[in-house]
Amino acid sequence: MSPTQTTLVQVLPLAKDLDENKVTPGVLGFIVFAVIGAAVWMLMKSMNKHMKRVDFEEQPAQEQPAPGDGPEKTGADDDAPARTAASAPPKRTG
């Protein structure tokens, strides 16, 4: 008797004890899970590399004058667009 036949004779009784209605993911499920895991690992590694390249320096906050400190304006507010453009965050380039 060959080693393969001997192993087969020993394993076949164990296979009959298994539930035939039980569904398992099998080898294909493991391969798909491993590929997804490897893809997530590579994406995390790439994201970490890109995040290290980001050069972000926060600008210091500009002090706002108190309401009674500055000169008061009367009439039309001519510099309204200039104030909104100055208070807007800087635009990103690149």
* Extents of the domains making up the chain: 26-50
Per residue in 65-84, pLDDT (tens digit) is 666 665 655 555 555 555 55
pLDDT of residue 44: 98
Q: Which tokens go with 24? A: 């398992």
Identify which of 85, 41, 84, 87 has the alpha carbon closest to the alpha carbon of residue 63: 87
Expressed in percent and rounded to 5, the helix, strand and coil fractions of the chain are 55, 0, 45
Looking up tokens 């590399």 gives 49
Instruction: Assess whether pLDDT exceeds 80 at residue 1.
Output: no
If one compares 20 and 74, the residue with the highest pLDDT of the two is 20
Predicted pLDDT at 21: 79
Distance CA 13, CA 32 (A): 30
Q: Categorize the per-residue pLDDT at 57 as very low, low, confident or very high, splitting at 50, 70 and 90.
A: confident
